[in-house]
Amino acid sequence: MSKQSYRVCFCFRRRFRLTVSEAPKEVNELFERYSENGIMDADHFLRFLVEVQKEDKATKEEAQTIIDNTLRELRHLPVFHRKALNLEAFFKYLFGDTNPPLSPSLGVHHDMSAPLSHYYIYTGHNSYLTGNQLSSDCSDVPIIHALKRGVRVIELDIWPNSTNDNVEVLHGRTLTTPVELSKCFKSIKEYAFVASEYPVVITLEDHLTPDLQAKVAVMVTETFGDILFSPGSECLSEFPSPESLKKRIIISTKPPKEYLEAKETKETKTESQRGKATGDEEAWGKEVGDPKGRNITDAKNDLDEEGDDEEDHDVGDPKCQQTEPPEYKGLIAIHAGKPKGGLNECLKVDPDKVRRLSLSEQQLEKAIETHGKEIVRFTQRNILRIYPKGIRFDSSNYNPMIGWMHGAQMVAFNMQGYGRSLWVMHGMFKANGGCGYVKKPDFLLKNGPHNEVFDPKAELPVKITLKVTIFMGEGWYYDFHHTHFDAYSPPDFYTRVGIAGVPADNVMKKTKSIEDNWVPAWNEEFEFRLTVPELALLRIEVHEYDMSEKDDFGGQTCLPVSELRQGIRAVPLHSRKGERYKSVKLLMRFEFV
């Protein structure tokens, strides 16, 4: 029989339901240690929960409830004891959905009473785009998806429509098709607090004339009403806390500026408005002939110029006050702006005012070379927003850790994008009950005895070692087509596991490949020495080895190390887009030593 024929037969002969015989050796040994005569009752199981799973607060009643629930799921199989676990039931518990790596009961557990500047905030970039940055449709659908995932900052680019009498959302100077601003606002109101009750910030990239800004002010107040947080036109002296802003909507943009001379013709005026950004993010710099101002060539040249416009008039300028609509300015709770001058001016901390500053990923990388500690000091009181460089036309993303380790609260991502950076973003905001706000570590918030701040470049000692054991995986046979990985044989899976964190902690390691097996058993152990465990995220990926082509993707997840449950856990894997598979998971053990 040829190897190809043998593999076809093997594929159809193979049993895929897990059995006791497939339990890892360590699981068998633990059952022997914590059972008696092949039976693990509530007392035995409680001892296992405390000593192995490190669940110090577990009670005998909770242990019995887990046993009862596990046996209920196995009611179709013969069970020898109705109030205790045998080996098969114990294995079922370990690899079941009730034994995840993060505690579902933990919920929101960070202190939520500090100012907004003390939190990492789940932040979207160009939240209205359905795909790429140049030609995809604008829609409220990706906004809804982001809010359902727990994203707390939604970005909208607002422009006059073609007749200059209404406001629409689109990515200027591109071929993106617009969506009405009112539709986006209504969807934000409907879905803002589906995933989290903590505040939603709308960052407006404002390209409007004063009359249209006044129209937006009416739209905002009519749509959001009492849930809008609007402290008035004055800058805040300190940001409120997420706790005090539960179920509130916050507007953030640059206060209005003087626009264009009244003598300009309507046609010239429309094109200038589309050619020069007046909001917080983009300065396009050139005029174009297309009445919509959407030119792909110019977009490629200018897309990475998104950022605070240094040419703004000071809000105290009398000319500015003559033209700005006060009702619009009064709705802006988080003022954005960039003082004239270099980085030193930008990063000055005003003891009487707080504000938001935006930098591109490239600007941040350049700034941290010379001003790393000043950025940390700035973000103790003020909000720093980082956004993707303009050449990411495909809606890809960047390394968020660079911003986080310098205290940046709003690391803005293309949530409709893809790739490992986005998986890391998903992982960070699984923390704190998935509420979209994660308290920054104390070392980024407090100064030392000599007023020194955390130095992201400093070489630090190892604080803790995370030991990870990857036992086995299952579920691909049920969630993937049987020829998805290989047309003629079961897959050859391997796992990559590592840390996303500060540079000293970044590492990826890899198991061996297990040939021809839908239920691979690796039984490999890895150690990760962490200098800043507070910012560390555990990255896990499964791939299928392919000798002749690129290895196939088999699932991924990213987990905050600070919230990992020790012990043996069932780790669900997700798709490239971050959607959880129905069946695919790994059996792993986590230990801090």
Residues with catalytic function: 125, 171
Reduced to 3 states (helix: H, G, I; strand: E, B; else coil), residue 138 is strand
C-alpha 444/C-alpha 409 separation (Å) is 11
* Phi–psi pair at 166, nearest 5 degrees: -150, 175
Backbone dihedral angles phi then psi of residue 553, each to the nearest 5 degrees? -80, 135
Tokens of 314: 């000071």
**How many other C-beta atoms lie within 10 A of the C-beta of residue 104?**
9
Q: Please list the helix, strand and coil fractions of the chain in percent, rounded to the nearest 5, in that order.
A: 30, 25, 45
3-state SS of 244-267? CCCCCEEEEECCCCCCCCCCCCHH
- Residue pair 397/425 in contact by the 8 Å Cβ criterion: yes
Q: How far apart (Å, rounded) are the C-alpha atoms in residues 44 and 56?
A: 14
Phi, psi (degrees; rounded to nearest 5) at 270: -60, -45
251 DSSP β-pair partners: 202, 332
Q: Which residues contact 170 (CB under 8 A, 6 or more apart)?
A: 128, 138, 157, 159, 176, 177, 178, 179, 294
Give 452: exposed, middle or buried? Use CB within 10 Å, 0-12, 13-18, 19+: exposed
- Nearest CA to 474 out of 91, 35, 1, 84 is that of 91
Residue type, 369: E
The gap from C-alpha 314 to its chain's centroid, in whole angstroms, comes to 35
E strands, 401-550, are: 410-413, 437-439, 464-474, 493-500, 507-510, 521-530, 537-544
Give me 174's structure tokens: 């591109």
* Spatial separation of the C-alpha atoms in residues 490 and 7, rounded to whole Å: 8
Q: What span, in angstroms and rounded, lies between the C-alpha atoms of 487 and 8?
A: 9
Helix 181-191 vs helix 210-224: angle between axes, to the nearest 10 degrees? 30
Bridge partner residues of 40 (DSSP): 85
